[in-house]
Chains A and B, each alone.
Chain A
Amino acid sequence: MNRTTKSLRYVLKRLAQGVPIIIAIIVLNFFLLHMAEGDAVDVLAGEAGSATPEYMAELRAKFGLDQPLPVQLAVYLKNVAVFDLGYSFRHDMPVSQLVLDRFWPTALLMVSTIILAIGFGILLGLIAATRLNTWKDSVISVFALITYATPLFWVGLMMIVVFSIHLRWFPTSGMENIAAFHEGWDRVVDIAHHLVLPTITLSLFYLALYTRLMRASMLEQYGQDYVVTARAKGLTDRRITYVHVLRNALLPVVTMAGVQVGALIGGSVIVESVFAWPGLGMLAFESLFARDLNLLLGIFLLSSILVVVVNLIVDVIYSLLDPRIEVS
């Protein structure tokens, strides 16, 4: 068997593993919907009775609430499969439409955060590991320890106090200055300007994580036999570090990036509600206040699926980069 069929087979295997997890999450979602007070339709209709009785009756029939539980579950699965997540009366929109609209700001925030956190995390970890037990190493380690222990919402608020209120460098909230009617390039710059503080806030925690991971990974690689070989054949320390050790040390950091996506979504709920960034997290915060439980369930479902998909993509990329992975 050549390598391409092998990796194709691996991709298919991982896909097959992802599907049952997604189905299990949908089933869990269904039971959470049932755990909520009252009948699922009350929840679906937004709890406040803002829905008309006709619509409630229609919903009951649609979700088959007079049917036994397994039938209800089947109907629910069918609805989710066509991405019908019910209706949000607070927003007067289907939940699926709402979560998809709000997905892109979150994606933008997450991608910029991952780039910043991994980039600087690798850099700081590298510096700490190559200058082991010097003041630089200590400063970086203390920095990582402290950011690891700081609640994100507090960092966000302190950022606003310092950089928005006192220094006036960045806006306090939102994604763009809508009143300014920016277009084209100006709009990109405006959004980027709004993106700075949320991104820094969200990346701090992961920055700490990747720094520690990168440092540990580098130290582990330094102990390997190939480093001794490289040294024996007379390579300089620089070359050993940057050509040999660095490349191998990067692998676990890349894997962690995939594993941490779930935590990143949790963090973005907090950061988005601090900076009023109009993404999924902000939507979750709003739905808490509006007591729009069905919307919250929709966000939960979408973010869980997102984690499965991202993990899958990371695994596949990883298997292409490092053929040894298939063995385990």
Chain B
Amino acid sequence: MLDFWRLYAKSPSAVFGLVVLIIVIILAAVASLIFPEDPFRLAGTPMSGPGENGFLLGSDTLGRDVAAGILHGAKTSLMIGLIATLAAVFIGIFMGALAGYYGGLIDDMLMRVTEIFQTIPSFVFAILLVAIMKPSIESIVIAITVVSWPGVARLVRGEFLSLKNREFVQACHTLGMGDFQIMMREILPNCLSPIIVIGSLMVATAILIESGLAFLGLGDPNIMSWGFQIGAGRTMLRSAWWVCTFPGLAILATVLAINLVGEGLNDALNPRLRDRN
């Protein structure tokens, strides 16, 4: 663990990303403490600029506090990003492990399915899924999961293909271990690091998709999110620039931080790749 941290800390940008991410997580955690009221509630004079009338980051046309929205939105974005990614990684591991381990017909069939899902324009597909299922936090998570698992499946399949004929796996066969046990207890732990890396980058993509959906009006109507704030603020872009600007900066900072952490993990977990450059 200490060794890992030493490798990770070699890259200043990775440490910077981690610090920003921790700040975002803390802000999301204390959102309900700082702003205990509903972020949709009218909090004061509408269209107040940043710093006016007690609004740190201003208010929108309905007098909603932009800062409160950003903190509550952080909770939404992180939660959706994390849950959708976990689900997608789970499905991806399942599909990829089966395809890579068994090969042959199963591999052919599963990879065909993966290929179709990779061909479909993913954001348009996500829009369609949420529109059909009606916008809610569940439908958004499902839509993001459905469009993001193929990448993991391909990666896991590749890892399983290269590992399944190694000596340690053959040894397990000779010991009489079952297929499921070999896959989950022997092969999977050996390909965890690329999965962790791709998973961390997927959280960032999931947050971008979620904010895009909310911007288009496909967010959960009862939950505050950054995309919703920007979508609601765009009509008064001319007179109240702050309503759109600050939530956008929040998305930028969060996604950037996650990407930096992902790259840092990649460098720390695959030292060979890092030394090549």
The interface of chain A, by Cβ under 8 A from chain B, is 20-21, 24-25, 28, 32, 35-36, 145-146, 148-154, 157-158, 160-161, 165, 219, 261-263, 265-267, 269-270, 273-274, 284-285, 288-289, 291, 293, 296-297, 299-300, 303-304, 307-308, 311
Contact = CB atoms under 8 A, between A and B. Distances in A.
A315 to B, nearest CB: 13
B122 A154 contact: no
Nearest to B244: A157
B238 interface: yes
B260 interface: yes
Nearest to A36: B132
A304 B120 contact: yes
Given A149-B204, A149-B252, A219-B277, A157 B230 contact: yes
B248 A269 contact: no
Contacts of A262: 118-122
B256 interface: yes
B119 A293 contact: no
Given A146-B256, A151-B211, A284-B124, A158 B119 contact: no
A262 B123 CA distance: 8
A304 B127 contact: no
Interface string B105-130: 00000001001101111111101110
B230 A154 contact: yes
B132 A32 contact: yes
20 contacts: A28-B120, A151-B215, A151-B255, A152-B212, A158-B244, A158-B248, A161-B244, A262-B122, A263-B121, A263-B123, A266-B121, A267-B123, A269-B124, A269-B127, A270-B212, A270-B215, A288-B216, A291-B131, A304-B119, A304-B120
A32 B128 CA distance: 9
The dominant DSSP class at the A interface is helix
A265 B248 contact: no
A153 B230 contact: yes
B94 interface: no
B237 A161 contact: yes
B163 to A, nearest CB: 22
Contacts of B127: 269, 284, 288, 296
Contact of B237 (A150, A165, A284): A165
Contacts of A273: 216
Given A24-B116, A153-B212, A288-B131, A263 B252 contact: no
A275 to B, nearest CB: 11
Contacts of A152: 212
A157 B237 contact: yes
A300 to B, nearest CB: 5
A157 B249 CA distance: 12
Contact of A266 (B122, B231, B244): B122
Q: A-B pairs with the 5 shortest C-beta distances? A: A266-B123, A154-B248, A149-B256, A149-B255, A262-B121
Contact of A145 (B123, B230, B259, B277): B259
A186 B216 CA distance: 33
